[in-house]
Structures are given as C-alpha cells and as structure tokens.
Chain A
Amino acid sequence: QKEVEQNSGPLSVPEGAIASLNCTYSDRVSQSFFWYRQYSGKSPELIMSIYSNGDKEDGRFTAQLNKASQYVSLLIRDSQPSDSATYLCAADTGRRALTFGSGTRLQVQP
C-alpha cells in the first residue's frame, strides 16, 4: 500500500465549478499535510499546508483534513483554465522528508 494515495485523474470540471481533489494516507504518525501544484514542465509549487483537523481557507482554495479517516482534500472554487495542472498531495510522516502521492491531473474546461 502506498503511503499517500491520489486518484490520477484526469479530473475534468467546467470553468467556474468547484474542483475537489482527494488524498488518503496510511501512516497515522503523519501530522502535516501539503498540497502542491505542478504545471507541465515546471517544478511543484506550494499551494497550502494544513496541520489541524477541519478546514483551512486561502482565497479560492480550501484544504480539509480528517485525521480519523486519514483523509485530506483540496477544494478549488470558481475553477479557472489556469488551474489546469497536476496537484500533488504530500504528508510529513516524521521521516524528515515529505512523502508525495502520484498526483491528480486537473483539467478545467473553458
């Protein structure tokens, strides 16, 4: 079982809709979680981090964490074509390096 799992997609949503990206993790030791966005041919860039159960909002982005269910999600409101990218979920499992999922490709259709 992979430590961090994501559906590879592609997830296709129309412009203006809410995109919901999901991630599960296997190691209950994990305390910190991160969402990165990676455009094709570019490096991953941090969107949000979340450490506590519940929701954390930043602009159009909301991260949600449920440690009991070992589940992390990222909601993107009012999706734009420029949001089309691969979204990587990562967990800090205490190994002093982030463990990444394989990413979900998001396509926002104009």
Chain B
Amino acid sequence: DTAVSQTPKYLVTQMGNDKSIKCEQNLGHDTMYWYKQDSKKFLKIMFSYNNKELIINETVPNRFSPKSPDKAHLNLHINSLELGDSAVYFCASSQDSSLPSGNTIYFGEGSWLTVV
C-alpha cells in the first residue's frame, strides 16, 4: 500500500492553463506538505497544513493555492501556469508529535510538471 500517493505523476501542459495535483496519505499523519524541487535538486517548502489548518505559506505566487478537505488530503491548484513552474512537486506528510522524530517527513512519488 502506498503511504503517500499523488496524481498525476507526469503532467505536460501549455502556458496559461490551470492544473491541479492531488495528494492523499494513509499514514494517519497530522501534517501534510507541498515541496517543490527545481532542476538543481533543491527541495523547497511551499505549504504545510496541520489538521486542515494552513501552517506554512512560503513566498509562493498566489497562482498556487493549496486545499486540504481533510487531514488525509492536500491538493495543489495552479492557475495561469508559467514556464518557470516546470519542476517536480512532492507531497509529503509527517506525524508532527512533540518527539524529535515527529517531523520525519515521508514523501510521495512526485509529480513531474512540464509547462510548454
């Protein structure tokens, strides 16, 4: 069973389009994240949600809008796609307990977005 699953895995779309990436985790974790990995492999936090509440909202264009209908799901909608949005988007989750290991992050398989 996949612990953190996201769809689609590959997405090729034209500039200006709107697209969504869906994510679900079956680990019972309280916190979910969206990370963006650029061509240089740098993983950067975009958003995090804890029990459906937005916790982290980094400096991301407001064309990116996360939505968490429940604590097991975190979707990412992107409006008016631009060439620079091409990247790999990873969904992740963590337990978020008070223990040091609580923030161990488990990643989904990634969504490869290419904007042409």
Q: How far is the CB of B58 from chain A (nearest CB, A)?
A: 9
The interface stretch among B11-19, B20-28, B64-72, B97-105 is B97-105
Q: How far is the CB of B39 from chain A (nearest CB, A)?
A: 11
Interface residues on A, range: 20 to 34
By a CB distance below 8 angstroms, the chain A residues around B45 are 95, 97-99
Contact A96 B50 (CB under 8 A): yes
Which of B41, B100, B104 counts the most A-chain CB atoms under 10 A from its CB? B41
Instruction: Tell me the number of A-to-B contacts counted with CB atoms below 8 Å.
Output: 61
**A31 close to B (CB within 8 Å):** yes
**B→A interface (CB under 8 Å):** 31, 33, 35, 40-45, 48, 50, 55-56, 90, 96, 100-101, 103-110
**A→B interface (CB under 8 Å):** 31-32, 34, 38, 42-46, 49, 51, 86, 88, 90, 92, 95-100, 102-103
29 contacts between A and B (CB under 8 A): A32-B100, A32-B101, A32-B103, A34-B105, A42-B110, A43-B109, A44-B107, A46-B105, A49-B100, A49-B101, A51-B101, A88-B41, A90-B105, A92-B103, A95-B45, A95-B56, A96-B31, A96-B48, A96-B103, A97-B33, A97-B45, A97-B48, A98-B45, A100-B35, A100-B42, A100-B44, A102-B41, A103-B41, A103-B42
